[in-house]
């Protein structure tokens, strides 16, 4: 489990930061009419933020070189 966390730490940090940002986006800006698919509910906004945060921070992950023996 520790090895998995160490290899995916950027995804985890990105998801946490994105979820926090998504929740605060819903809380501060949101959608008053309720017709917005993402920002009408806090769960939708939080999940969307988590996915986007993980994807954005995954851009900074280095590729590991494969050694053939």
What would the pLDDT profile of 2-15 be if each residue is shown by its tens digit? 888 888 889 999 99
pTM above 0.95, yes or no: no
What tokens appear for 5 in the block? 């966390």
In a domain, 8, yes or no: yes
Angle of CA points 38, 41, 47, to nearest 5°: 60
In a domain, 69, yes or no: no
What tokens appear for 7 in the block? 């290899």
In a domain, 64, yes or no: no
Please give the tally of structural domains in the chain. 1
In a domain, 51, yes or no: yes
Per-residue model confidence as pLDDT tens digits over 26-61? 999 888 787 888 888 889 999 999 999 999 998 887
User: Sorting pLDDT into bands at 50, 70 and 90, what band is 69?
Assistant: low
DSSP-derived secondary structure for 33-51: SS--TTTSSHHHHHHHHHH
Specify the pLDDT at position 20. Answer: 97
Higher pLDDT, 20 or 59: 20
Is residue 58 within 8 A of residue 18, CB to CB? The reply is: no
In a domain, 11, yes or no: yes
Spatial CA neighbour of 54 closest among 11, 3, 19: 11
Domain that holds residue 50: 2-58
């Amino acid at each position: 489990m520790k090895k998995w966390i160490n290899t995916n730490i950027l995804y985890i940090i990105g998801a946490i930061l994105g979820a926090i940002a998504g929740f605060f986006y819903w809380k501060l800006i949101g959608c008053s009419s309720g017709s917005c698919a993402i920002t009408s509910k806090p769960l939708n906004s939080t999940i969307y933020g988590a996915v986007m945060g993980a994807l954005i921070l995954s851009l900074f992950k280095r590729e590991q070189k494969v050694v053939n023996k």
